[in-house]
Amino acid sequence: MAWYVTIAVILGPLFVLMGLGLPVAFAFLAVNLVGSYILMGGLSGVEQLVLNTIDSVSSFTLIPIALFMIMGEAMFRSGIAIDLMDTLDKWFGKLRGRLALMAVGGGVLFSTLTGNSMGSIALLGSSLTPEMEKRGYAKPMSLGPILGSSGLAIMIPPSSLAVVLGVIAEISIGKVLIGIIVPGLLMALLYIIYILGRCHLQPELAPPFDVPKVPFGEKVSATVINILPLAFVVFSVVGVIFLGLATPSEAAATGAFATLILAAARRRLTPKVFGDTMFSSANISVMVLLIVSGAVTFSQLLAFTGATYGMVDAVLALEISDSAIVFAMIMLVAFMGMFMGPLPIMLITLPIFVPIVLQFGFDPIWFAAMYLVAIETGATSPPFGAALFVMKAVAPIGTTMADIYRAAVPFIICDLLAILLLFFFPALVTYPVDLMFR
């Protein structure tokens, strides 16, 4: 079977099942079940599906998602997040879209601690969106910035995906980590321009806060009370990694604890708040993990059919210039992200792409940077980008999938723009690397 037929045959039922309202996780399970039965020798294929599913969930790389969920829920339920926004309102109340900008800022900040964008969404989504909504922010301005900026997690070191890329592609991890910083900041900049522009054109999306002239002293005291203690939380995540006290995954746990301690110190951690925090963060983790595991085993099935390899070969067989082929590779990666997880995509494409890029004589670090932006774009792309489902799990009740898709699209366009800029201006990547490694 041609690769596109295979993909259609496998993706078709997935579309239909999800479209009919079967929960996403079970739609994946159903397709995986039938697929492994047909492809991998009947019942033994299903036995293998059980083993693969177990393997995909019991993974240390997923632990930060659950732990950041605790952090986000604790911030929201103990009112720490609300205080933070109140204080920001006192300072920047007249600035339209200030909370959306804060989400981007938060994305940048938290990107310094995890290589997994889902952890970022978990944290920012659960702590910020309910309150943003209350303050009259429309969905594109509350969900979008979080979806967009969460992807910065893999663009700013430490980034476990960048390291995995270095390992699979056998290129310098250090250079990749330096090379992706400017692209990451470029993306953040594009998001900010978009937010400011859209708020200017459609002011109703992000209402300003009518500040009844707050005295300066009150602003300062609010900052001291509500924002400074957050430095403790930030330290417990970023600081411990920086000082070599914890690995990035472990830092999620210290962050969760620091948030609980902060809530307790402010006498907000009643037994009810604590119980609710743990119960709902466990619940959301369950939804997300079940989907992630379904998606991982789905990717394995796709890889087994050889369709993904066929897709890769088809792109390489295009009769276009070398640099156009490189661009097509990057676009293929973003496309695969619409229905596959980052890791399987990397395992399938990198060992094939990187030697070709080298053979063409291009800089592999430049390629790696665009590649990671593409991976990131794919993860937030409809219909099946995993980040979208995570957002759906943490978003306030009543948020539809269509809301999330609509919110994501402008940020995907920003990402594609970033890829184009990097493609035409490789110096954005290579200059900092040369500076550091001369």
Cis peptide before 355 (omega within 30 of 0): no
The answer to the question of residue 355 lying near other proteins (CB under 8 A) is yes
> Which one among 202, 221, 247, 323 touches other proteins, defined by CB under 8 A?
247
Chain residues 368-427 in contact with other proteins, contact rule CB under 8 A: 383, 389, 392-393, 400-402
Stretch that binds other proteins, among 18-26, 139-147, 205-213, 315-323 (CB under 8 A): 18-26
DSSP letter at 247? -
> Which one among 54, 211, 220, 324 touches other proteins, defined by CB under 8 A?
54
- Residue 312 binding: pick among other proteins, Na ion, none (C-beta 5-8 Å cut-off by kind): none
The answer to the question of residue 381 lying near Na ion (CB under 5 A) is no
The answer to the question of residue 291 lying near other proteins (CB under 8 A) is yes
Alpha helices in 78-227 (DSSP H): 80-92, 98-111, 117-134, 139-150, 160-169, 173-179, 181-201, 216-226
Measured at the CA of 104, the angle between CA 102 and CA 107, to 5 degrees, comes to 110
The answer to the question of residue 119 lying near Na ion (CB under 5 A) is no
Tell me the longest C-alpha to C-alpha distance in the chain.
Answer: 73
The answer to the question of residue 183 lying near Na ion (CB under 5 A) is no
The answer to the question of residue 147 lying near other proteins (CB under 8 A) is no
The residue with tokens 């943003």 is 132
User: Which CB sits closer to other proteins, 333 or 350?
Assistant: 350
> Which one among 106, 107, 115, 140 touches other proteins, defined by CB under 8 A?
115
Nearest to 250 by CA among 160, 182, 344: 160
Chain residues 179-218 in contact with other proteins, contact rule CB under 8 A: none
Residue type, 217: G
- Residue 317 binding: pick among other proteins, Na ion, none (C-beta 5-8 Å cut-off by kind): none
* Least Å from the CB of residue 72 to Na ion: 17
Provide the residue count of the chain: 438
CA neighbours closer than 13 Å in the CB half-sphere of residue 338: 15
CA distances in angstroms from 80 to 60, 72, 123, 294, listed in the order given: 28, 10, 13, 34
Nearest to 367 by CA among 152, 168, 185: 168
The answer to the question of residue 323 lying near other proteins (CB under 8 A) is no
The answer to the question of residue 156 lying near Na ion (CB under 5 A) is yes
Rounded Cα gap, residues 34 and 28, in angstroms = 10
The answer to the question of residue 331 lying near other proteins (CB under 8 A) is no
> Which one among 43, 265, 413, 427 touches other proteins, defined by CB under 8 A?
43
Q: Could you tell me if residue 116 is left (phi over 0), alpha (psi between -120 and 50 degrees) or otherwise beta?
A: beta
Site of interaction with Na ion (CB under 5 A): 111, 148, 151, 153, 156, 159, 415
